[in-house]
Amino acid sequence: MKLSQVQLEQVDRQVKRILASDSYYGKKYREMGITGVKTQEEFERLPFSSKEDLRNAYPLGIMVAPEEEVVRIHSSSGTTGTPVIIPYTAKDVDDWAIMFARCYETAGVTKKDRIQITPGYGLWTAGIGFQNGCEKLGAMCIPMGPGNTEKQLKMMEDLKTTVITATSSYALLLAEEIEKRGLKDRLHLKKGVIGSERWGDKMRKRIQEQLGIELYDIYGLTEIYGPGIGINCSESTAMHYWDDYIYIEIIDPVTGEPVEDGEEGEIVITTLVKEGAPLLRFRTHDLSRIVPGECPCGRKHPRIDIIKGRSDDMFKVHGVNMFPSQVEDILKDVDGASSEYTVTIAHDDSVNRDVMLLTVEGEGRVSFDAMGAQIRELFKSRIGMTPKVIIVPVGSLPRSEKKTKRVTDYRTQ
């Protein structure tokens, strides 16, 4: 998908603002002799920006707006190394809320809804993003933050929450708790807005069935405002994104070249009007594709497919490259398997071989032996290698309030 004339002019304005600043990218662009962007070709010659750059610019090196206009910072959850700090102007905060309110509307949420917010507050963009969008829309916000499942369920029942917002792992934990306690009929839940991690069809189905609600995938990342830059509608699982605020291109993660619409690759995002920390051609490492054609819902906003994984989630065993999404595709076809699994990889020194151990929760309807055999068979035929498989009862693997860690690789530690 090419930049429209309006988007090209917006990018050009961003480049000129960056050049006029004393920021990290201002220096970099001046050194590279960049003066502006008039065409798609010139745009595609702009360097990518990356999380690495943002770490190099720590703490406020990417700030382009004057200090007196900056009203807030957020920081990405960076589990390793230097965190990333993103400054926001008042307009950035407002633009983000407008986009987020549009997400709620696309999910059919209205002013009459009561939205319970379980993602975390603080430095990260999660909780406050869900809240600002809710208030912009005019719905009632129940700002719980994460954890304390007991209290979550009490508020959900007493306040007649209609919309739950959560990570997929926490939504699953709540769904299982609600089922265990037989609470479903005392609740008023209609919809769930689920953000911040990739999840398989199986997990979606379980949450949907246990709670009897519609689920929506919201997309976003701290570097680009936060969650709220796109969401799916009731007609499709692909996500509309707000192309008056961001431009998305899909590139081949290895060569960096743009791919055709419809082809899979890495999402690269350009902010069109962001003031505090404009980012051009930011590599997200999220894998997806542009979904060509119009959505049956009639909305004109372009769409990307459900996030398939992250280019850095790939793991390699016995020379075979694998993504968690491939593991999920296999488990989807295994009768009796729950959505929950972990992959552990280690090197067995005694035989000088890598070992992959797949632990899967079994629901108990099908014998664990039969499930294990079927999983091994499917791996062999579809991926070309056979892992060791252990089946454990449902509930054995950890449920997390944040992102679920699926793959642990002991070879790199």
Q: Which stretch binds Zn ion (CB under 5 A): 90-98, 194-202, 227-235, 322-330?
A: 227-235
Binding mask 299-338 for Zn ion (x = CB under 5 A): x---------------------------------------
Please report whether residue 291 would count as binding Zn ion according to CB under 5 A.
no
Please report whether residue 297 would count as binding Zn ion according to CB under 5 A.
yes
Shortest reach from residue 233's CB to Zn ion, in Å: 3
Q: Which is nearer to Zn ion, 301 or 399 (CB)?
A: 301
Contact residue for Zn ion among 11, 115, 233, 371 (CB under 5 A): 233
| Rounded (to 5) percent helix, strand, coil in the chain | 35, 25, 40
Is the Cα dihedral 257, 262, 265, 267 positive or negative? positive
DSSP per position, 135-163? HHHTPEEEE--S--HHHHHHHHHHTT--E
Contact residue for Zn ion among 19, 71, 295, 355 (CB under 5 A): 295
Q: Which is nearer to Zn ion, 233 or 317 (CB)?
A: 233
Q: Which is nearer to Zn ion, 235 or 333 (CB)?
A: 235
Q: Which stretch binds Zn ion (CB under 5 A): 222-230, 298-306, 383-391, 396-404?
A: 298-306
Q: Which is nearer to Zn ion, 301 or 403 (CB)?
A: 301
- Rounded CA separation 337/359 (Å): 11
Task: With beta carbons less than 8 A apart as the criterion, state whether 286 and 229 touch.
Answer: no
Task: With beta carbons less than 8 A apart as the criterion, state whether 343 and 312 touch.
Answer: no
Q: Which is nearer to Zn ion, 64 or 107 (CB)?
A: 107
Task: With beta carbons less than 8 A apart as the criterion, state whether 99 and 224 touch.
Answer: no
Q: Which stretch binds Zn ion (CB under 5 A): 180-188, 203-211, 228-236, 319-327?
A: 228-236
Q: Classify strands 282-288 and 239-241 as parallel, antiparallel or unpaired.
A: unpaired
Shortest reach from residue 291's CB to Zn ion, in Å: 10
In the sheet that 309-310 helps form, which strands lie side by side, from edge to edge? 246-251, 265-271, 282-288, 309-310
Please report whether residue 214 would count as binding Zn ion according to CB under 5 A.
no
Q: Classify strands 191-195 and 163-166 as parallel, antiparallel or unpaired.
A: parallel
Binding mask 23-62 for Zn ion (x = CB under 5 A): ----------------------------------------
- Rounded CA separation 51/65 (Å): 20
Supply 30's token pair.
């001046």
Supply 256's token pair.
């960096």
Is the Cα dihedral 335, 336, 340, 341 positive or negative? negative
Number of residues that bind Zn ion (CB under 5 A): 5
Q: Which is nearer to Zn ion, 295 or 366 (CB)?
A: 295
Q: Which is nearer to Zn ion, 298 or 319 (CB)?
A: 298
Please report whether residue 235 would count as binding Zn ion according to CB under 5 A.
yes
- For residue 277, give every residue at least 6 positions away whose Cβ sits within 8 Å of its Cβ, in sequence order, or none: 62, 63, 64, 86, 87, 88
Shortest reach from residue 294's CB to Zn ion, in Å: 9
Q: Which is nearer to Zn ion, 238 or 383 (CB)?
A: 238
Please report whether residue 346 would count as binding Zn ion according to CB under 5 A.
no
Residues that bind Zn ion (CB under 5 A): 233, 235, 295, 297, 299
